[in-house]
Structure 1
Amino acid sequence: MKLGEGIRLNRLKLNLTQDDLADQLFVSRQTISKWEQGNTYPDLSNLIRLAEIFEVSIDELVTGDKFIKKPFVIGIKPNRKIFLKKFFCNQFVFLTMSSTMFLALGIWSIFFNNSVTLESTFAYRVPINITVGLLLSFAIFALYSSKIYPYWMIADEGIYYMGPLTYQQSWKRNLSLLFHDTDESFLSVIPYHDIESGIITYEPRAYQDKDIIAIPQAYNNPTVAMYYIMQAPLYIALKTKDTVINLDLKIDYYRGDQALFHYNIEILRYLNNRNIKISDPDNIIERVLSGEDLS
């Protein structure tokens, strides 16, 4: 990665404008701009000062190399605990289980009330109804579970991501989470040498109340599932020779924690070091780090 790009990315990471950085170095904004564009280079004293401001080594600033512990996960990597929490806290699961159990109990009471006691009804039929309710709930949950667990990973050999899954694969993925505590066997991988370029893309769209899952405090404390139904797409579109693969960024942005979005600076630097150019024509990262609300 070029020195100028390193200066720009580190400046954005600290939410500094070119004017802010220029004031700290006692140089003009035009000087900072020329450094970032690669037209001129800072002298040794300014290079040392830049490293101090950015809290990086001079070598890291010049080469862009920084240790990223791999696999580096972007998003939410599910495990058994997360799966069970999402499953049993999901309103559709709760409604399906409840309606199945009470409907079955009601039908049983109407048609067989004279032949069995209430105690035997609850003793033998409730477990069956709960089992049926769980199976139906699991089937519904599998329909959109991929939206609840969006993530991708940076590894030494390439980028792992969750591609489109069939309904059967979604079932198997959930079973893998339940019994094996992982779903990594369902990930696809893009080798770095297959990636030609990338572009950060944001697609703003208006949403209505009907787009929001009806849960308590939905507007102030939305669930991960709600983000993916309600919010506009925000992703890195990676172009390979054969296809374009979208890697989601909005899970970190819409959590409301901009500190998480700082990781994207390190990701861009890492990809740049591998000669993968990621463009940001709409300055999405700079706008997010400056506190702008994209919604």
Structure 2
Amino acid sequence: MSGQFLAIGEAMIELAPDGSGLLRQGFAGDTFNAAYYARAALPTDWQVSYFTLLGRDAMSDAMLAFMAQKQIGTDYIGRHASRMPGLYMVHLNNGERSFSYWRSQSAARLLADNKTALRQAIEASDIIVFSGITLAILEGDGADNLLSILQEFRDTNKIIAFDPNIRPRLWPDQDHMRSQLIRGAKASNLVLPSFDDEVACFGDLTTADTISRYRSYGLKRIIVKNGADEIEVLFDGQSFTVKIAPVAQIIDTTGAGDSFNGSFLGHFAQTGDAEVAIRFAAQTAAKTIQHYGALVD
């Protein structure tokens, strides 16, 4: 069965350690990473596309060429006359990552200004993935534009997947962050939160609390990622947990959740079996964290 997969968000220039003391330049970003891993999981008759806004500079050209090389469609990517892609640097401490960002004037902050193009892309797609980072970076009416269009398709047979991917530094204040994340969840029909983020933002005490809260927003498909601990799942009325195999050596956790998201969505699109797809995605994430950088061949 063929189909259309669409990721919406910001692809950035990545500077990441390569293990030798030097920095390696690449391209990454949470929803772009998900598209990358979805492309790897899906058969060739599926189209995987990215929706964002880039500049007309050399790095934007290089990013588009990279996407084309990785067979990620660029037809939905606009170009801005004066803005450029954002940049981030990865810092590692025993495998755990932190980031420095330069993205305040990135072109992607205006990606949702063209409502016509955004609606056409979403309407043409079978699976759509966006994140809390997508919402956080948007300027002006961008978040309202995106959420209102997604809401139109929430109750169709499309999969609209939302990873809250909570990054407090991107938001002006806690109250606005929480309200927008809740709006993002309510505009989706599948949510993929990380438990540690939910604890910090919403004060959840257990993964069951996270499940219960998202159920209260009207979600029937909830997959709570929890690092090396069990994944807690509510999926179309079925509740279950999935154990995670231990990883002997963690090199870099960058992109772990993103690789899970893309791999799960790609595998679920083919099998329709949530538990099997979750196990597949967990294996992919385990491989990802044993390498440097967000994107692993």
Q: TM-score range by the shorter chain?
A: under 0.3
- Normalised to the residue count of structure 2, the TM-score between the two structures is 0.23
Which structure dedicates a bigger proportion of its chain to strand?
A: 2
Normalised TM-score (structure 1): 0.23
Specify which structure has the higher proportion of helix: 1
* Greater gyration radius: 1
